[in-house]
């Protein structure tokens, strides 16, 4: 037996076989079809789902957009596109997803030199329906598959785009050589509610070996003895009992022993996460990370696609608020089609609101989708990475254009609350001015900490020096809360330390109005709130 010690990013115990993940390995493997007839059935099923989506979208949009949607549905049902994809599956023995990509690329190459406007529109339609099909295929099971049994996934490094492709039910634990407890991969592991370790010197040789992951101590046991397996199975059973005890708090109020109330919300990135938030009794969604809708695609999502997704969330929350953060793209959250220039220091680069303001068509499409969906539920919009009043001026101008355009077309919407992320010392220092212009401030402590300490939170050589409990970080939070409250502006914390129960009392004493955490952390934080007396 070999014992390897790393750092725990999320608690829990996992027992199972190891699968070694290297970027591109499984993506390459999934090109070859094991069963051609099955791939054809999968394709036809997903074509029906996309057609159903298009028909619903056509009924719920304005006439100009409806015409385009109808044309896309005609292409999908026509005599050229679908037969071409089926032929690629048959002749090349590839998966439905890969066949869609091949067909799309061949058609784009064939017609790209033609200047006829009608042909150009047809090319755009082909690109869009291919993106929709690929998205549908990913959701229906063409995502990364590591075999029949769930696995402990070990890797050098994981990116959000990797995890999005994975089947959650096939992951027992995530273990990486690099990263940190607040890396995006660790955050997504928490959302998946699986134990996670980082700083573990795993190798490809571990593939297929049996292992135990202890998300409390940070230990990984490779080829454990039967006695140790039995001991950890008992610990898993105790874990389950504690979770069942916590579940009794699902409907409990978030009130301290001394009567102080705090809002407890959820951070989510998908509809599955929304269901978990409701299950654990979140007061609402404090942060919907919309950037995940832009990853692992061939092109930007269109307004109608975003609108339907946001409408599902608005309706699914049944009157509870859902705060949609506009796409926080850049740094490690990007796809090839975005063509974001390579940067020397992407963490400090063109990301968040900076990128959105540079790509106004993308930004406006998302804002239109959010405002259209607001007619169906309780939504709010949140802007990431604000550092100046000039950015707010640009946002206000774009919001006016978007709302004026919707009014002109008589599209119903609500004037929803507006918030900004406080993630930089610059935002903290002008928090008074910012609070005058918005309805709420949401403190993103992950970025605020790294910018305050001037430390890259994902730099492995700094992990022992990185301190999100640093007095300077807590001072930044206090300054933001005080500035917000001076202007009747509510202040939330949505960074990872919102779930740190060692700081719950501190946040309550600072006067923070709400905490937003991953769904799996709602009940532990609720328990801590309820046993705190100020």
Q: Is 184 a catalytic residue?
A: yes
Around Cβ 445, how many Cβ atoms within 10 Å? 24
3-state SS class at 263: strand
User: In whole angstroms, what is the distance from residue 122 CA to residue 285 CA?
Assistant: 39
Structure tokens at 482: 């005080």
Separation CA 192–CA 190 (nearest Å): 5
* Measured distance CA(180)–CA(198) in Å, rounded: 6
| 319-354: b (≥16 Cβ within 10 Å) or e | ebbbbbbbbbbbbbbbbeebebeeeeebbebbbbbb
What one-character-per-residue DSSP string does 178-239 give? S--TTSHHHHHHHHHT--EEES----GGGTT-EEEEETTTTEEEES--HHHHHHHHHHHHHH
| 420 closest CA partner among 435, 433, 432 | 435
Q: Which of 184, 322, 489, 521 is catalytic?
A: 184
Cβ–Cβ under 8 Å, residues 192 and 165: no
Residue of 512, 494, 477 whose CA lies nearest to 324: 494
Rounded to 10°, the helix 63-77/36-59 angle is 160
The answer for 12, left when phi > 0, alpha when psi is -120 to 50, beta otherwise, is left
Q: With beta carbons less than 8 A apart as the criterion, state whether 175 and 202 touch.
A: yes
Q: Cα(433)–Cα(59) distance, rounded to whole angstroms?
A: 43
Do the beta carbons of residue 386 and residue 448 sit within 8 Å?
Answer: no
| 8 A C-beta contact, residue 213 and residue 195 | yes
Partners of 198 in beta bridges: 7
The pair of three-digit structure tokens given for residue 61, joined into one six-digit string: 């949009």
Q: What are phi and psi of 451, to 5 degrees?
A: -75, -35
DSSP 3-state percent helix, strand, coil across the chain (nearest 5): 50, 15, 30
Q: How far apart are the C-alpha atoms of 46 and 53, rounded to whole Å?
A: 10
Q: How many CA atoms lie within 13 A of 185 on its CB side?
A: 29
Question: 494 catalytic, yes or no?
Answer: yes
Q: How far apart are CA 312 and CA 376, in angstroms?
A: 9
Distance of CA 457 to the CA centre of its chain: 18
Alpha carbons 321 and 285: distance in angstroms, whole number: 6
- Marked catalytic residue, from 322, 489, 494, 521: 494
Catalytic residues: 184, 494
């Amino acid at each position: 037996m070999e014992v390897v010690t790393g750092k725990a990013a999320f608690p829990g115990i996992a027992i199972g076989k190891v699968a070694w993940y290297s970027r591109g390995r499984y993506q390459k493997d999934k090109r070859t079809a094991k069963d051609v007839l099955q791939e054809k059935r999968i394709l036809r099923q997903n074509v029906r789902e996309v057609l159903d989506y298009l028909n619903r979208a056509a009924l719920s949009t304005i006439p100009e957009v409806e015409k385009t949607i109808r044309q896309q549905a005609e292409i999908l049902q026509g005599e050229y596109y679908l037969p071409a994809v089926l032929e690629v599956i048959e002749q090349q023995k590839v998966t439905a997803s890969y066949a869609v990509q091949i067909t799309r690329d061949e058609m784009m190459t064939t017609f790209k030199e033609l200047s006829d406007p009608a042909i150009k529109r047809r090319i755009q339609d082909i690109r869009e329906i291919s993106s929709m099909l690929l998205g549908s295929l990913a959701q229906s099971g063409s995502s990364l598959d590591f075999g029949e049994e769930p696995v402990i996934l070990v890797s050098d490094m994981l990116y959000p785009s990797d995890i999005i492709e994975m089947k959650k039910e096939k992951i027992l634990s995530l273990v990486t050589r690099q990263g940190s407890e607040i890396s995006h991969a660790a955050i997504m592991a928490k959302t998946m509610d699986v134990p996670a370790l980082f700083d573990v010197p795993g190798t490809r040789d571990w593939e297929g070996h049996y292992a135990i992951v202890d998300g409390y101590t940070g230990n990984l046991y490779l080829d454990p003895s039967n006695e140790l397996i039995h001991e950890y199975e008992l610990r898993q059973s105790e874990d389950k009992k504690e979770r069942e005890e916590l579940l009794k708090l699902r409907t409990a109020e978030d009130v301290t022993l001394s009567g102080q109330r705090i809002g407890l919300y959820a951070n989510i990135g998908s509809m599955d996460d929304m269901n978990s938030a409701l299950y654990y009794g979140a007061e609402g969604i404090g942060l919907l990370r919309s950037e995940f809708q832009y990853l692992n695609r061939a092109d930007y999502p269109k307004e109608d696609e975003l609108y339907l997704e946001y409408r599902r969330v608005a309706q699914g929350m049944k009157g509870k608020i859902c705060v949609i953060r506009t796409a926080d793209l850049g740094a490690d959250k990007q796809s090839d089609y975005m063509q974001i220039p390579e940067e020397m220091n992407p963490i400090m680069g063109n990301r968040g609101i900076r990128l959105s303001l540079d790509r106004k068509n993308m930004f406006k499409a998302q804002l239109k989708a959010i405002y259209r969906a607001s007619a169906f539920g309780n939504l709010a919009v949140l802007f990431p990475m604000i550092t100046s009043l000039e950015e707010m001026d640009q946002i206000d101008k774009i919001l006016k254009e978007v709302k004026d355009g919707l009014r002109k077309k008589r599209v119903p919407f609500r004037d929803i609350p507006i918030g900004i992320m406080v993630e930089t010392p610059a935002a903290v220092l002008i928090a008074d001015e910012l609070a005058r212009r918005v309805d709420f401030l949401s403190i993103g402590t992950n970025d605020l900490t790294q910018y305050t300490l001037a430390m890259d939170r994902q730099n492995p050589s700094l992990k022992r020096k990185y301190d999100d409990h640093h007095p300077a970080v807590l001072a930044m939070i206090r300054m933001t809360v005080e500035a917000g409250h001076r202007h009747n502006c509510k202040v939330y914390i949505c960074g990872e330390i919102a779930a740190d129960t060692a700081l719950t009392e501190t946040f309550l004493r600072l006067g923070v109005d709400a905490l937003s955490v991953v769904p799996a952390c709602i009940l532990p934080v609720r328990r801590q709130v309820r046993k705190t007396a100020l």
